[in-house]
Amino acid sequence: MVTEEEIEQVAKFMKIDVHNHKEYVEKVHNMIDFFDILDSAGVEEEEVTMNDLPLSTLREDKHIPFEDKLIEKLKNFKGTYVRAPKMI
Amino acid sequence: MNLKISALEFVEQVKNGNISAEDFVSATIDRIKNIDEKLHAYLQVNSKAIEQASQIDKKIKSGEKVGKCFGMPISVKDNICVKHSKTTCASKMLENFVAPYDATVISKLKEQDAVFVGKVNLDEFAMGLTTEFSAYGPSRNPWNTDYVPGGSSGGSAVAVSAFECVASLGSDTGGSVRNPASFCSTVGYKPTYGLISRYGLISYANSIEQIGPITRTVKDTAFLLNILSGMDSHDNTTIDNGQVDYLSCIDSGIEGKKIGIIQEMIGEGIDPSVLSATNNAVSKLEGLGAICESVSIDMVKYSVASYYTITATEAGSNLARYDNLRYGYDFPVEGFEFNSYISKARTKFGPEVIRRMILGGFVPSAGHAGKYFLKALKVKSKLTKEVSEAFKKYDYLVAPTVPVLPFKIGEKIDDPIALFLVDINTVLSNLTGIPSISVPYSISNGLPIGIQLMAKPNDDKSLLQVARALESTVRLPEVPV
């Protein structure tokens, strides 16, 4: 049984503020309850299949020179530094 | 100017000199101005469309080589990048995002002298089934404007159905081209996974989604598929289709073909008029020489839960980039700590996107991944095996595209599970990668019903043949708008 605290914790990890939005938590809870139908699918022994992509589908790994200074394109570039939010 | 023509009819008329591209595009823009306030298919209209069409007319007059589209007016779902155009994904998060490059599908159509008349509405980040989750307001069904047009490519289907363009590009992750095509009485196509490049499609669920055309006729879809399909070095999931011509032999018929009717898609909960239309379509297919039988695909019951688990996980990853550091809307960093800065940026997401991002963090998380995400992947694998078994016996599979008629705007928006279940017939082909098409089939109480046909992977050409055969049995009334 999934608790609302677990959902709120995941929302925090996803950097989504749900503190003032109980309706989100309730609807997400209902959605997760719906996914419980997977328990009766009987797929425990099933293997997960993956599509193999051959290396030939990848474009050539070659250096393409780029002359622009990327840092100057950042919107918070202040000439000699980039302004960013505090990391606490 | 008669706008009620197909893409191929447009090309024929321009080639013959009966109409000019400029006049047709101009009439299309007038049509948009006259009716789109009511329908809200378009988020942006290309102010240079008429001028671009006149340039193509000049090329035609001067005898220069002209691309296959001859100035055809096409609309584009607003999650596909068109260079120097806003690409908003119908979200406040990308309100001012201007695409710095063309998606591959756009480059290909530009090379063939298509004219893009505008960007059309969708559910925010393609997450939804009704276009009600657009941050810019819902689109309305041209058959009855109180009803949803379907989604997430609702704007595309409305624009084609209401003659606001000749064809449109949508994207289909769980039915987002086929569902609105069914609800608006147009053709909607989801190709084999990898047939059309996703380069330039803003990601929602990369392992499943495909760009697909919405058109008036099956032949128009084949025409566009000839242009759009093929390998792309920018998208390493694209496949080599061997330069197939999807239009050739499209009228070859279906004599002797075997078609499986998926029982789980016509069972409990189906609207009686949808069931009746499906049975009628099966009779028509039998009348054309096909052999139709019931087939059971047990994993269909779990396919919706599997689909939403997998796509929520991929969405949680793909939308993590919207943090106002690389993408997002602009507000200053002063006064914010890192986590709250990103949280504030993400208040620009709408409610459905937020729900799916939270789900996408939850279902693959430690302690829950085995119960949800891993199980969903196993259901996907088993479903793929069951479908593959079915195709050993049958050439095609058939079912209604959507088990219900279009519903009223606002009717299901507060019930996410009820909305999820609308997808039950369409997610199968996304999870398994097979091609599928919705063919407009009938009208019930003024509301459209589409029939869905599916084929094996890479059998897109054959699928278009059976779709064409079914389409040839249908005579539908004109859209009332």
Is B304:B427 a contact under the CB 8 Å cutoff? yes
Residue B285: what are its φ and ψ, rounded to 5°?
-65, -40
- pTM value is 0.95
Check residue A8 and give its pLDDT.
83
pLDDT in tens, B63-94: 999 999 999 999 999 999 999 999 999 999 99
The pLDDT of residue B137 is 97
Interface predicted TM-score of the whole assembly (ipTM), two decimals: 0.86
Nearest C-alpha neighbor of B479 from the set B141, B104, B22: B141
Instruction: Place A26 in a pLDDT band, splitting at 50, 70 and 90.
Output: confident
CB B236 within 8 A of CB A54: no
- Which residues 6+ apart lie within 8 Å of B312 measured at CB? B356, B357, B359, B360, B363
Question: Which one of B338, B343, B371 has the shortest CB-CB distance to A16?
Answer: B343
Closest by alpha carbon to B183, among B271, B269, B77, B116?
B271
Q: Which of A6, A31, A85 sits opposite B333 (nearest CB)?
A: A85
How far CA B74 is from CA of B10, B172, B213, B355, in Å, comes to: 12, 18, 10, 33
Question: How far apart, in whole angstroms, are the C-alpha atoms of residue B320 and residue B329?
Answer: 14
Mean pLDDT of chain A: 82
B100 touches chain A (CB under 8 A): no
Q: Are strands B210-215 and B167-172 parallel, antiparallel or unpaired?
A: antiparallel
Q: How many CB atoms lie within 10 A of CB B343?
A: 20
Location of structure tokens 């989504």? A16
Most B CBs within 10 Å, among A7, A9, A15, A78, to test the B interface: A15
User: What is the mean predicted confidence (pLDDT) over A31-52?
Assistant: 89
Least Cα distance to B316 among B98, B57, B125 occurs for B125
Q: Give the per-residue pLDDT at A50.
A: 78
The residues of B annotated with a catalytic role in the active site are 77, 152, 176
pLDDT surpassing 90 at residue A19: no
Residue A20 reports pLDDT greater than 70: no
Q: What is the pLDDT of residue B330?
A: 72
- Residues in chain B, how many? 481
Q: What phi and psi, each to the nearest 5 degrees, are found at residue B196? A: -120, 135
Which residue stretches of chain B have pLDDT < 50? none
H-helix or E-strand spanning residue B44: strand B42-45
Strand partners, B292: B259
Cβ <8 Å between B301 and A76: no
- Nearest Cα of chain A lies from the Cα of B342 at a distance, in angstroms, of 6
Peptide bond into B152 cis (omega under 30): yes
> Residue A18: CB partners within 8 Å, gap ≥ 6?
A7, A8, A11, A24, A25, B354, B358
Q: What is the largest CA-CA distance in chain A?
A: 60
Residue A1's pLDDT band (cuts 50, 70, 90): low
